[in-house]
Amino acid sequence: MAKASLKRHTMWVAAAFVGALGIDIASKWAITTIVMLPPRTIEIAPFFNVMLSFNTGVSFGLFRDFFEDRPLLLSGVKTAIAAVILLWALRSERRIQAAALGLIAGGAAGNIVDRVRNGAVTDFLDFHLGAWRWPTFNMADVAITLGAMLLITRSVVSTDKQASRSATPS
């Protein structure tokens, strides 16, 4: 990769990482210091509430009992994973893949910062349909999901292009 291209590429990774991390930290600060004083459920739409909760487990509260007394252990594991994702992003040849991985790493970093500060991850976005509820989540989770969706989309588009190229006679 040429030096100018590497610099632009690094900027995509950095922008996605810092954007995801910044939006997550700012939204959690606003929710915990302004919006949720006092803590309550705020109905935004018939299917969406803002509701404060704290997750001491991994995704969807899994392994909560194990990690509740060991938040730094989970933070250490997640930090190692985020570092590997950042290295992958910096070595990626495609800008969209680099940005997607930057979003994933930035979202992970937001949740790591929260867990180190508070011993748990602050969640506040609550979607539901009748009695069915999706686990409450935050903007870091949104960044991780968007990054994963971009990776999947990029993979499918690349596969489609490769398939059509190999099917075309030379």
Q: Is 123 assigned a catalytic role?
A: yes
Q: Is 126 assigned a catalytic role?
A: no
Query: Can you give the pLDDT of all 170 residues of the chain as single tens digits?
Result: 566 566 777 899 999 999 999 999 999 999 999 999 999 999 999 999 999 999 887 665 656 666 666 667 777 888 899 999 999 998 888 889 999 999 999 999 999 999 889 888 999 999 999 889 999 999 999 999 999 999 999 888 866 565 566 665 65
Q: What global pTM score does this model have?
A: 0.83
Catalytic hit among 24, 114, 123, 126: 123
3-class DSSP string for the chain: CCHHHHHHHHHHHHHHHHHHHHHHHHHHHHHHHHHCCCCCEEEEECCEEEEEEEECCCHHHCCHHHHCCCHHHHHHHHHHHHHHHHHHHHHCCCHHHHHHHHHHHHHHHHHHHHHHHHCCEEEEEEEEECCEECCCECHHHHHHHHHHHHHHHHHHHHHHHHHHHHHCCC
